[in-house]
Structure 1
Amino acid sequence: MENYPPPLDSVFHALADPTRRAVVQRLGQGPATVSDLAKPFPMGLPAFLKHLGVLESAGLIDTQKAGRTRTCTLQQARLAQAGSWFDDQRALWASRYDNLDTLLSALGGHGHDH
Structure 2
Amino acid sequence: MASEKLLDVDPLLERLQQFADARDWQRFHTPKNLVLALTGEVGELAEIFQWKTDAEAVALHQNPAEFEHLGEEIADVLLYLVRLAQVSGIDLEHAVADKLLKNAKKYPAA
TM norm structure 2: 0.31
Structure with more of its chain in strand, by fraction: 1
Structure with more of its chain in helix, by fraction: 2
TM norm structure 1: 0.30
Q: Per chain length, whose mean CA-contact separation is higher, i.e. which structure has more relative contact order (CA < 8 Å, sep 6+)?
A: 2
Name the larger-Rg structure. Answer: 1
